[in-house]
Chain A
Amino acid sequence: MRKLFTVIILIVAISTPFFAFDVLPVIGDPDSAPNSHVSDHYIEHAVEECNSPNMVTAVIVDYRAFDTMFETTVMFLAGVSVVLLLAGRPKRRLISPSAVKKRGRTVRGKAVYETVNKDVMISLIEPLILIYAVYVLFHGEVSLGGGFQAGALIGMTYLLDVMVGKRQRPIFNLSKFRSAALAGVGPFIYALTGLISVFAGGMYLEYNRLPLPVHQAELHSIGITAVEIGVTIGVAGTIITIINALMERISFDDDND
């Protein structure tokens, strides 16, 4: 019964895009909306309309903010599904203990965290990456980067931290469920930013209507930054969730040796 249900959901999910193909414009059609006027409008008006010198950021989180919101949600769902798949103790080992011994893993090399200079990693490299992540986040409108990159950098810091420290005592103490909740907070902040402008009388995610006492042009910057913070938290939470689930599964495997 459950399998039948899964198959029905899969068929619906896979066949829906094929029906949607008819609605989409033909690739390379010169009369389609992106090729005739939309791209030109973005290129000519992005800076004055969104107050953001980086046009990529303007398109992603301002013109197409609704699209990006569901992208962030999809990422949150990916993290949750990894937790659901990998949670708990595995029923069957992927590799037998004798095969581990034959591979000579214990003899051939040290564990990763014993081969790295912890002081340099924890006191020098990780703070530098975190500072760079914050710079990329708040400077994303002007130069390269934005929420996705900043979140990935924060996730990378956690990955380095897990690799360097002993697995029993990581520096950020985040359980996998807590980090999955963190991944959900990101899309929530994003959606809340949209709702604020609805309550102020505008449309969803219309940054012009944010109820703040600043100049009209500043509102777009503030809206973009708020949304980017949400994206950052979502991406960082998703990466941390995936790493946590994987490391927990691997430590189960090691315990059985």
Chain B
Amino acid sequence: MILEAVLLLGLIGITLAIIFGTDLMVAVVIYCAFSFLTMFLYIVMGAPDVAFTEAVIGVISTVIFIILLRSIDRKIK
């Protein structure tokens, strides 16, 4: 119960950091942390299959975002 609360609070904090950040690269890396915490949340809730999928897809989407950052401006004005 406490573990779930800590993980959920961490997710809220990470989301705020993504929304209010000005550097897209930083946002992508923090998004990776978001998917990592979500993975732990799935394990705590007893769904290891979903956690496995989340781990793999989290890595792929992070790398795709980093590739895409080559084509757009990194800073938000």
> Which residues on A are within 8 Å of B, measured CB to CB?
54, 56, 94-95, 99, 103, 105, 144-146, 148-149, 152-153, 155-156, 159, 163, 239, 242-243, 246-247, 249-250, 253-254
Contacts and interface: CB of A to CB of B under 8 A. Distances in A.
B70 A250 contact: yes
B64 A250 contact: no
Interface in B46-73: 48-49, 52-53, 56-57, 59-60, 63-64, 67-68, 70-73
Contacts of B49: 54, 56, 144-146, 149
A105 B63 CA distance: 18
Given A152-B60, A155-B60, A247 B67 contact: yes
A253 B71 CA distance: 7
A246 B67 contact: yes
Contacts of B56: 149, 152-153, 156
- Chain A at the B interface: SS class: helix
Contacts of A54: 49
B53 A148 contact: yes
Contacts of B48: 144
Contacts of A153: 56
A153 B60 CA distance: 9
Given A54-B49, A56-B49, A94-B71, 10 more contacts: A94-B72, A95-B73, A99-B73, A103-B74, A144-B49, A163-B63, A163-B67, A246-B67, A250-B70, A253-B70
Interface residues of B toward A: which range? 10 to 19
Contacts of A95: 71-73
Contacts of A149: 49, 52-53, 56
Contacts of B63: 159, 163
Interface in B5-62: 48-49, 52-53, 56-57, 59-60
Contacts of A242: 64
A239 B71 contact: no
Nearest to A56: B49
A212 B63 CA distance: 43
Contacts of A246: 64, 67-68
A229 to B, nearest CB: 18
Question: What are the 7 closest A-B residue pairs judged by CB atoms, nearest first?
Answer: A152-B56, A56-B49, A253-B71, A149-B52, A144-B52, A94-B72, A144-B48
A239 B53 contact: no
Contacts of A144: 48-49, 52
B67 A152 contact: no
A243 B64 contact: yes
A156 B53 contact: no
Nearest to A55: B49
B59 A156 contact: yes
Nearest to A145: B52
